[in-house]
């Protein structure tokens, strides 16, 4: 059986290119190397605070505002080493309680959902890495084995328990996101209960313990929309640090058509042919998904062309 992905390349998924950055994990425990890198004049540093960074839109595009290490070396706790580029430049994020005062009028605060679509692959990747680490640090301050407060080591990438010696690593929660099509090649799109009228997108959900990702696709579609799924094909993944997910994108083929939404997660779900979706976009009945989510890329893979520009999310 052929699927849309046999013919059409996957549209670029935001946050999935390295942008030339080597994470250089070998340096994370080398305090002498980190200290030298921090004080090197070529080193670039940006502040992350509450999932936001400063960006500058005044050039040709939007750039992450980065400076040399502009202050005394902070404690290891607040300094995340993110990697090096092909020229040997080192990149750090400083986690702070607030963003620095505007360096000039061109800088503004932005979160990853917005900036991830505007920044270069290098800058978006650096920001995603820093935001993911900040979220993990914020939510995992205590040892899950003994309850003691942990300390941050490895340049932001490990939390160590001084009481029991346990080491805790950044957590990533796998979630599946899938575009379901039926035998008539219609796509199943749903509207979550808290979404505004007209916003429809792919179904999604978390992988449960003891479950494969393919099983999670089948279960989630059944639970949320009452539709049975047969063939499941993996397409691409996307880091989704809101706060700590990894989105695993699929195309899935339905073996039933009747819809019965659960009412808890989905308020409504509908089958759309391409013509019906195109008409619904034109009339404003359906709002195109937008932003950096892989959802829009999965829909485009089936739709066969870029979606109309949508609303910021
Ligand atoms: Zn412990």
How remote is the CA of residue 240 from the centroid of ligand 1, in Å? Answer: 28
On the question of pLDDT at 73 being above 70, the answer is no
Q: What is the DSSP code string of the chain?
A: ---GGGTSPPPPPTT---TT-B--GGGTT-HHHHHHHHHSTT-EEEEEBTTEEEEE-SSSS-EE--BS--SSPPPGGGEEEEEE-TT--EEEEEE-SSPPPPSSTTEEEEEHHHHTTTS-HHHHHHHHHHHHHHHHHHH--B-TTT-PBPEEEGGGTEEE-TTT--EE----EEEEEEEEE-TT--EEEEEETTSPTTB-B-EEEEPPTT--HHHHHHHHHHHHH---EEEEEEEEEEEETTTTEEEEEEEEEES-------SSSEEEEEEE-HHHHHHHHHHTSSBPP-TT-HHHHHHHHHHSSPPPP----
Residue 136: φ, ψ to 5°: -65, -45
124 CA → ligand 1 middle, Å: 34
313 band by pLDDT with thresholds 50, 70 and 90: very low
CA 229 – ligand 1 centroid, Å: 43
pLDDT band at 312 (very low <50, low <70, confident <90, very high): very low
pLDDT at 262 over 90: no
CA 135 to ligand 1 centroid distance, Å: 20
User: Per residue in 288-301, pLDDT tens?
Assistant: 887 789 999 999 99
**Residue 226 near residue 258, CB atoms below 8 Å:** yes
What residues contact 295, with CB distance under 8 A and at least 6 apart?
Answer: 177, 201, 202, 204, 289
Average pLDDT on 241-252 reads 96
**What would the 3-class secondary structure string for 205-259 be?**
EECCCCCCHHHHHHHHHHHHHCCCEEEEEEEEEEEECCCCEEEEEEEEEECCCCC
Give residue 167 CA to ligand 1 midpoint distance, Å.
8
Could you tell me the distance, in angstroms and rounded to a whole number, from the CA of residue 147 to the centre of ligand 1?
Answer: 6
Q: What is the pLDDT of residue 2?
A: 43
Bridge partners of 53, per DSSP, are 110
* Bridging pattern class, strands 90-95 and 79-84: antiparallel
* Banded pLDDT at 309 (limits 50, 70, 90): confident
The more confident residue out of 295 and 1 is: 295
CA of 153 to the centre of ligand 1 (A): 15
Q: What is the mean pLDDT of the chain?
A: 91
pLDDT at position 1:
41
Q: How far is the CA of 280 from the centre of ligand 1 (A)?
A: 55
How many angstroms separate the Cα of 189 from the Cα of each of 10, 98, 202, 266?
19, 38, 5, 10
How far, in Å, is the centroid of ligand 1 from the Cα of 181?
A: 47
Ligand 1 centroid – CA 136 distance (Å): 17
- C-beta of residue 209 within 8 angstroms of C-beta of residue 256: no
Mean pLDDT over 215-229 rounds to 97
Whether residue 220 is predicted with pLDDT greater than 70 in this model: the reply is yes
Q: How far is the CA of 243 from the centre of ligand 1 (A)?
A: 23
Alpha-carbon distance of 238 to 114, in angstroms, equals: 15
Ligand 1: distance of its center to the CA of 142 in Å? 8
Query: How far is residue 179 from each of residues 10, 103, 202, 263, 305, measured CA to CA in Å?
Result: 13, 43, 5, 19, 15
- How many angstroms does the Cα of residue 39 sit away from the middle of ligand 1? 33
State in Å: Cα 151 to ligand 1 middle.
10
Quick one: residue 155, left, alpha or beta (phi over 0 = left, psi -120 to 50 = alpha)?
Answer: left
Average pLDDT of span 25-29: 96
Looking at residues 84-107, what average pLDDT do you find?
88
């Amino acid at each position: 059986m052929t699927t849309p992905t046999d013919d059409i390349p996957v549209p670029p998924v935001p946050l999935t290119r390295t942008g030339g950055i080597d994470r250089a994990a070998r340096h994370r425990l080398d305090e002498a190397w980190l200290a030298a890198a921090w004080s090197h004049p070529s080193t670039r540093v940006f502040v992350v605070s509450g999932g936001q960074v400063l960006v500058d839109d005044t050039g040709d595009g939007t750039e992450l505002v980065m400076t040399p290490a502009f202050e005394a070396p902070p404690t290891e706790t607040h300094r995340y080493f993110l990697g090096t580029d092909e020229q040997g430049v080192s990149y750090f994020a400083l986690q702070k309680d607030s963003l620095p005062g505007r360096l000039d009028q061109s800088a503004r605060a932005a979160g990853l959902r917005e900036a991830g679509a505007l920044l270069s692959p290098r800058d978006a990747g650096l920001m995603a890495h820093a935001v993911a680490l900040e979220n993990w640090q914020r939510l995992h301050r205590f040892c899950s084995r003994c309850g003691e407060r942990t300390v941050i080591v490895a340049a932001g990438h490990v939390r160590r328990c001084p009481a029991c010696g346990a080491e805790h690593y950044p957590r990533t929660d796998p979630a599946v996101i899938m575009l379901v099509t039926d035998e008539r090649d219609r796509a199943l799109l749903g509207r979550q209960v808290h979404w505004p009228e007209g916003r429809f997108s792919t179904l999604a959900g978390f992988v449960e313990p003891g479950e494969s990702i393919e099983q999670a696709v089948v279960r989630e579609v059944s639970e949320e929309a009452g539709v049975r799924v047969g063939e499941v094909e993996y397409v691409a993944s996307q880091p989704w640090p809101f706060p700590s997910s990894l989105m695993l994108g699929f195309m899935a083929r339905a073996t039933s058509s009747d819809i019965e939404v659960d009412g808890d997660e989905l308020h409504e779900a509908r089958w759309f042919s391409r013509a019906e979706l195109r008409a619904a976009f034109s009339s404003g009945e359906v709002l195109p998904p937008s932003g950096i989510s892989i959802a829009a890329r999965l829909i485009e893979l089936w739709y066969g062309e870029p979606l109309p520009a949508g609303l910021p999310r």
